[in-house]
Every structure is written in C-alpha cells, then in structure tokens.
C-alpha cells in the first residue's frame, strides 16, 4: 500500500527495490528534463529529491484491518503497565510517521555525517510522540523524534523513536529484532554495530550489509537464537564493530563466541573514538573503510599472537585474574569456583550421585549465573525423565500432580526450554559429531556449559597403533580445545576402575581421580577434578575437590552435603564428628534441607 501515485511519483509499475525517477515537484522547472533526481525506496516507501530537497514517505502501513489513509504506524495496544506514566499522558492514538523535517535532515547530515539519501534508503522518518523523560522533571513529554524503522521481510516490525536529547522509546509489545536485518539475509559478509547511527555510518560509506544489535550493549543475545541459522550460518566474514567501552567489549566477546571466533573480525577505531559514527564524523568515510579493512583477520587455527588475544588481555588488564563463578554453596565455593574455557572431570562409584551432582552444578549455573546448558547424556534417557529430575531440583519438591501445580508445571517447562538442550545424535556418538552438535548449541543458543555423561557412551575410535593412554590424552585435548574456543565449561563424567573392598569393613574404597578407568591422563589433563563420595551410614555425600588447576579457582579440599531424596538437591552440612552423631546444618543455616523454589 502506498501513495506514490497520489503524490504524482511515477514508479513505472515497480513495487520493490530502489529506483530513481523524475521529481513531480521540480521536474517542470528543470532544464535537464531527463534528470531523475528523485530517489525512491519502494520497500520503505521513502523518497528524496536530490535537486529540490522534497522528501517524505508514501507509506500507508496497512496492517490487518487498516484502510488507505489510516495513520502510518499504529502503536500496538500497550502491554504491561508503565507506572511513571500518568494515564492522561500515556502515548495514545497513532503517532503518524512522516517526512523528516529540514532541521532533522540537516542535523543528521552536519552533525552525524549521514547524507539524506542514506536516511531515505534506511526508511528513517519523523514522528511527534510522547516520550518518557528521565531526570529531574520525570514524566512524559511530546517530542519530535527520528523514527528508526525495523523491518523484517519488508514488514514493519518495530520502531525506535529518538529525540534530540537521546531519549529512546520502542513500540510497546512489538518484537525486538536487529535494525536493518533484511539487508544481510544473503550476503557473504556482514557488519554488526551497536546503534542505528553506526549502521547508518556504514551505509554512508557504501556498505549496506550492516545491522545494529537490538538492545545496545546488552550481551544477552536471545535475538540471535532464531536468526543464527537463517542469517549467519553462511557468512564467511562477520565484522564486529561495536563500542570500545567495557559493555561494548563484553558484547563483542559474546558475539564472537556465538558467531564463531574463526570468522569474526573485530573493528577498532583508534584511541580517540569509541564507535563507527565518531570515526566517520572526525576522520571521514575513508577512515571508516580503513578501520574495516584493518580489522584483524581471524588467526590461523592453532596459532596465537597477543593481537588475537587482545580482548581477553584487555579484560585481564582491567579486571585482573578472575576467581571463577560461585555456585552459591558456601562450603564448595570456598574450595572451587568454575570458569568457562575449562574442563571439569567428575568421578565416583556407580550410583553415588555423579549425574545428580552434575545436574546440581548445571542448574545452579543456570539460575545464578544465567547460563545455558547442553547435555550429551545417553544414560539419562528418556529425556523427559531427566527433565523431570531437573524440574524437581528447580521447584524444590516432587514433580507430580499431587505435589506441584499446573502453573509450576508450565513455569518449569518454560524455564527448561530456554536453558537446557539435549543432544542425542542419531546413532553417531563419535566425539567429533557430539562436539559439532555442541558447537551448534553454542552458536544458536549460547550454551556456556556442556556435559558429557558418561565418557564410555562416546563411540571412541582409537586409531590403530595408539595406546589407550595416548587416546585419552588426545580426547582430553579435544575437550580442552572445544572449551577454550567456545568459552564453555565442559563437564565430563567418567567411571573409576573396579575398586577394591577395604580389608575388614568390606566397604568399597573411595576412588581418587587417578583411579578413573583408562589412564591418569583424565586427571593430568583436566582443569578441575572432583570425586562424589556417598557415605550412607553417615547420611552425607562428600565432594572431594582433588584439583583446581589454578590457585585463583580454589584449592584441594572437601565439602559435605545432605542429599534430599524428595527434590534431589544437595544442601551443605557439617558432618557429624563421630559416626552415630547427628549431621548438622551448615554454619548459620536453620534447616538441613532447602525446598524454596529456584525459579
Ligand atoms: N546421596 C544419595 N542418597 C540417595 N539417593 C541418591 C543419592 N545420590 C544419588 N542418589 C540417587 O541414586 C541414583 C543414581 O544416581 P546417579 O545416576 O546420579 O549416580 P551416578 O554416580 O551417576 O551413577 P552411574 O555411575 O551408574 O551413572 C539416582 O536415582 C539418584 O537420585
């Protein structure tokens, strides 16, 4: 739906793409009658005459039930409440988008160095709307805004309104998608930036394959989940051209982890500038193109220079060594804190709770650190049984109709759907296949922890002539490499050899990490090593931390837990000083068990 005809703009019957045509406003006065001075974007319906400056929008956004002549953009019905917004001043009605004012065009051109034709191409428009204004005089005010329109498959999905003082507002209830997403659908390369003006800056220097992330420097990349296959899978090169402040660097790290470090080139702008638009304004188009050209090519696989590690080095430089993330279990946090890019190996006698304790670690990382997890756990099938176990830990009580409500059922299923993915490759359980699926989970869903439970379910293909020790060394190397390249924590469950009975007591000896069946390389090559040791006669489970590769992540020691059979949770406790005495809750805790919901 458009008004081109009504406005006298001849589009020669075309309905999509960009074109030039004669300007109905100045053509009659022109001596060069052949000059097609009007640029028209038939997708965004915007037009601009490079001769007389006439510009505007011929769009009539004809959503369902809309008629010709209806306002351009209708606010979806407000969802949720906005307490700072007095009811009478709530944005209401349909703020109509129209042509940019002369002042706006001049400001974009002179202050941001974005030429008018780029604004037209990108469908930037004008609207006067009520904006939430922060500061002393909190409230809503009517403001003249630039409208950045977010299209997907040519359809308007959302609009970001921006006033001259950088107040922003998105359409309520509308989907958040990257800005200009249609432009990168089939391109071999693309540029990711952190703001609409940075995207327009690249368009101004001739790169159309640029998108802006939807939530600024927020490194929670939910939007990437649904776009990673359709828009990024085929990309050969992805330029990350985000801000150089701390948040921007965090975003950059997460983007390259999700999109694959081996095809991401990170753009920098020199000491003085923090983003693409600043560089364009200060140094001009050639400098911006040069910054793109100079972005380091991903390193040759297996080789590293300080430049390749610049981002991580900078983090180290600014924040020092990390001490790893805590699980929120005081006795264990004291001796072990986990970090991505590492391998944690878990062993213990069959039935002592290795898988259960691994689930405890995973769910604590999900609920406390907002991580996402992937499992290769063929033992834990059918998968719904495993989910039911995870649900019990999350809810704090049994996952059965008599104990949980329908609302809890829905909540926990929603939560797990967003956080946990299981890999069960059809028949092909080779390490290569399992890790390649896990890598897809990193790219598509941003998992940060990947569990292999247990080692012996992998279809190990030991090359002829290789010893078992040599093979396990190379297996552990593959896990370490996967963990490092994908910034994931890999958790490997591995069984011990058959343990002897202790003379006299006939109790099975507690294995150590060196007892893992096959080779000492499990212990030698892991970053963290723990043994799960269930001591039923005392009513406790010991977690023996036998190794943390670096001191900043902990030290050797053990932590005692009570296991709650109703929800599968491990609660820290103080072990009885002598057999037969009562287990006590952990220092300061009132109860031995916890049943409060985690989600
Ligand atoms: N301390 C405990 N007290 C009672 N039951 C437990 C305890 N720890 C685990 N369990 C239960 O024992 C069963 C086996 O646990 P899990 O599968 O985690 O052990 P595992 O060490 O991984 O065993 P395997 O080596 O056979 O895979 C599960 O049903 C689990 O809920």
Residue with tokens 């007095």: 86
d(CA 219, CA 233): 20
The residue whose CA is least distant from atom 6 of ligand 1 is: 353
Task: Check pocket membership of 386 for ligand 1, CB cut-off 6 A.
Answer: no
For the cut 70, the answer to whether the pLDDT of residue 400 exceeds it is: yes
User: Where exactly are the structural domains of the chain?
Assistant: 176-320, 330-596
Task: Check pocket membership of 355 for ligand 1, CB cut-off 6 A.
Answer: yes
| More confident call, 79 vs 96 | 96
What's the CA-to-centroid distance between 534 and ligand 1, angstroms? Answer: 9
In b/e form, how buried is each residue of 258-279, taking b as 16+ CB within 10 angstroms? bbbbebbbbbebeeebebbbbb
**Range 330-596 classified under CATH 3.50.50.100:** no
What's the CA-to-centroid distance between 568 and ligand 1, angstroms? Answer: 9
List pLDDT tens digits, range 343-398.
999 999 999 999 999 999 999 999 999 999 999 999 888 999 999 999 999 999 99
Task: Check pocket membership of 531 for ligand 1, CB cut-off 6 A.
Answer: no
List pLDDT tens digits, range 415-437.
999 999 999 877 788 999 999 99
The structural architecture, per CATH, of the domain 176-320 is 3-Layer(aba) Sandwich (3.40)
In this predicted structure, what is the pLDDT of residue 207? Answer: 94
State the average pLDDT over residues 159-169: 88
Q: Which of 345, 346, 348, 355 to mutate to test the pocket of ligand 1 (most atoms within 8 A of CB)?
A: 355
Q: Crossing angle, helix 276-283 and helix 285-294, to 10 degrees?
A: 130
Task: Check pocket membership of 568 for ligand 1, CB cut-off 6 A.
Answer: yes
| More confident call, 396 vs 123 | 396
The residue whose CA is least distant from atom 12 of ligand 1 is: 351
Given a contact cutoff of 8 angstroms between Cβ atoms, the answer to whether 275 and 301 are in contact is: no
For residue 70, what pLDDT band results from cuts at 50, 70 and 90? very low
In this predicted structure, what is the pLDDT of residue 243? Answer: 94
In this predicted structure, what is the pLDDT of residue 315? Answer: 80
Q: Which of 345, 351, 593 to mutate to test the pocket of ligand 1 (most atoms within 8 A of CB)?
A: 351
For residue 91, what pLDDT band results from cuts at 50, 70 and 90? very low
Average pLDDT, the chain: 86
pTM above 0.90, yes or no: no
In this predicted structure, what is the pLDDT of residue 94? Answer: 43
What's the CA-to-centroid distance between 493 and ligand 1, angstroms? Answer: 13
The number of beta carbons lying within 10 Å of the beta carbon of residue 423 is 21
The residue whose CA is least distant from atom 14 of ligand 1 is: 351
For residue 139, what pLDDT band results from cuts at 50, 70 and 90? confident
In this predicted structure, what is the pLDDT of residue 76? Answer: 33
Task: Check pocket membership of 364 for ligand 1, CB cut-off 6 A.
Answer: no
- Within 154-309, where are the H helices? 196-204, 222-227, 246-259, 276-283, 285-294
What ligand 1 atom has the least distance to the C-alpha of 350? 25
What's the CA-to-centroid distance between 356 and ligand 1, angstroms? Answer: 6
What's the CA-to-centroid distance between 504 and ligand 1, angstroms? Answer: 26
State the average pLDDT over residues 153-177: 86
In this predicted structure, what is the pLDDT of residue 82? Answer: 33
Q: Is the ipTM of this complex over 0.85?
A: yes
Task: Check pocket membership of 356 for ligand 1, CB cut-off 6 A.
Answer: yes
The residue whose CA is least distant from atom 5 of ligand 1 is: 565
In this predicted structure, what is the pLDDT of residue 62? Answer: 33
The residue whose CA is least distant from atom 9 of ligand 1 is: 353
What's the CA-to-centroid distance between 495 and ligand 1, angstroms? Answer: 13
Q: How far is CA 241 from CA 34, 146, 166, 265, 294, in A?
A: 41, 23, 21, 9, 12
For the cut 70, the answer to whether the pLDDT of residue 101 exceeds it is: yes
In this predicted structure, what is the pLDDT of residue 178? Answer: 95
Two tokens, residue 58: 């011929």
Q: Do domains 176-320 and 330-596 have the same CATH topology?
A: no
Two tokens, residue 237: 């090169």
Given a contact cutoff of 8 angstroms between Cβ atoms, the answer to whether 563 and 542 are in contact is: no
Q: What angle do CA 573, 575, 576 make, to 5 degrees?
A: 135
For residue 65, what pLDDT band results from cuts at 50, 70 and 90? very low
| More confident call, 176 vs 215 | 176
DSSP string, 326-365: --S-HHHHTTB-B-TT-EEEEEESTTSSHHHHHHHHHHHH
Given a contact cutoff of 8 angstroms between Cβ atoms, the answer to whether 482 and 444 are in contact is: no
What's the CA-to-centroid distance between 361 and ligand 1, angstroms? Answer: 15
Task: Check pocket membership of 95 for ligand 1, CB cut-off 6 A.
Answer: no
State the average pLDDT over residues 227-243: 93
Task: Check pocket membership of 565 for ligand 1, CB cut-off 6 A.
Answer: yes
Task: Check pocket membership of 347 for ligand 1, CB cut-off 6 A.
Answer: no
What's the CA-to-centroid distance between 329 and ligand 1, angstroms? Answer: 20
Q: What angle do CA 9, 14, 18 make, to 5 degrees?
A: 80
List pLDDT tens digits, range 537-550.
888 999 999 999 99
């Amino acid at each position: 739906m458009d008004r081109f005809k009504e406005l006298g703009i001849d589009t020669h019957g075309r309905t999509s793409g960009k074109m030039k045509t004669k300007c109905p406003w100045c053509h009659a006065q022109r001596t060069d009658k052949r000059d097609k001075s009007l640029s028209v974007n038939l997708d965004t319906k915007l037009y601009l005459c490079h001769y007389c400056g006439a510009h505007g929008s011929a769009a009539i956004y004809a959503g369902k039930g809309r008629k010709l002549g209806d306002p351009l953009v209708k606010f979806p019905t407000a969802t949720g409440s906005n307490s700072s917004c007095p009811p009478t001043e709530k944005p209401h009605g349909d703020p109509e988008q129209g042509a940019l004012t002369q002042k706006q065009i001049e400001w974009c051109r002179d202050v941001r160095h974005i030429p008018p034709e780029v604004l037209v191409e990108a469908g930037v428009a004008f609207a006067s709307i009520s904006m939430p204004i922060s500061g002393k005089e909190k409230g809503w005010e009517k403001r003249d805004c630039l409208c950045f329109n977010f299209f997907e498959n040519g359809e308007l999905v959302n609009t970001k309104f921006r006033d001259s003082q950088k107040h922003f507002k998105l359409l309520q209830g509308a989907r958040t998608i990257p800005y200009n997403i249609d432009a990168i659908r089939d391109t071999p390369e693309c540029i990711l930036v952190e703001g609409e003006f940075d995207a327009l800056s690249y368009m101004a220097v001739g790169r159309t394959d640029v998108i802006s992330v939807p939530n600024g420097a927020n490194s929670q990349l939910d939007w990437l989940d649904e776009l990673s296959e359709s828009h990024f899978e085929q990309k050969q090169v992805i330029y990350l051209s985000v801000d150089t402040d701390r948040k921007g660097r965090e975003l950059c790290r997460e983007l390259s982890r999700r999109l694959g470090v081996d095809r991401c080139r990170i753009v920098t702008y020199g000491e003085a500038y923090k983003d693409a638009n600043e560089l364009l304004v200060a140094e001009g188009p050639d400098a911006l193109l040069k910054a793109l050209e100079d972005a380091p090519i991903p390193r040759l696989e297996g080789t590293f220079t300080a430049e390749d590690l610049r981002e991580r080095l900078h983090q180290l430089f600014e924040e020092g060594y990390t001490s790893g993330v805590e699980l929120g279990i005081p006795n264990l946090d004291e001796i072990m804190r986990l970090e991505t890019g590492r391998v944690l190996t878990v062993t213990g006698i069959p039935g002592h709770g290795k898988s259960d304790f691994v689930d405890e670690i995973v769910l604590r990382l999900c609920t406390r650190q907002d991580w996402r997890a992937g499992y290769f756990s063929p033992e834990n099938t059918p998968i719904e049984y495993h989910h039911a176990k995870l649900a019990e830990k999350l809810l704090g009580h049994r996952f059965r109709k008599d104990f949980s409500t329908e609302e809890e059922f829905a909540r926990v299923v929603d939560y797990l759907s967003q956080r946990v993915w299981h890999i069960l490759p059809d028949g092909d359980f080779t390490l290569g296949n399992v890790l390649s699926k896990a890598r897809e989970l990193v790219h598509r869903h941003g998992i940060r922890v990947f569990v292999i439970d247990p080692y012996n379910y992998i279809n190990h293909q030991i090359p002829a002539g290789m010893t078992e020790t040599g093979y396990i060394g190379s297996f552990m190397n593959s896990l370490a490499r996967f963990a490092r390249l994908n910034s994931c924590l890999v958790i490997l469950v591995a069984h011990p050899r058959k343990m002897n009975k202790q003379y006299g007591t006939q109790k099975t000896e507690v294995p150590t990490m060196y007892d893992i069946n096959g080779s000492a390389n499990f212990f030698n090559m892991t970053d963290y090593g723990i043994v799960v040791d269930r001591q039923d006669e005392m009513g406790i489970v010991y977690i023996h931390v036998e190794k943390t590769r670096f001191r900043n992540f902990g030290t050797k020691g053990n932590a005692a837990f009570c296991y709650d059979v109703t929800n599968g949770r491990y609660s820290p406790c103080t072990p009885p000083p002598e057999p037969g005495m009562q287990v006590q809750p952990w220092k300061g805790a009132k109860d031995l068990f916890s049943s409060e919901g985690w989600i």
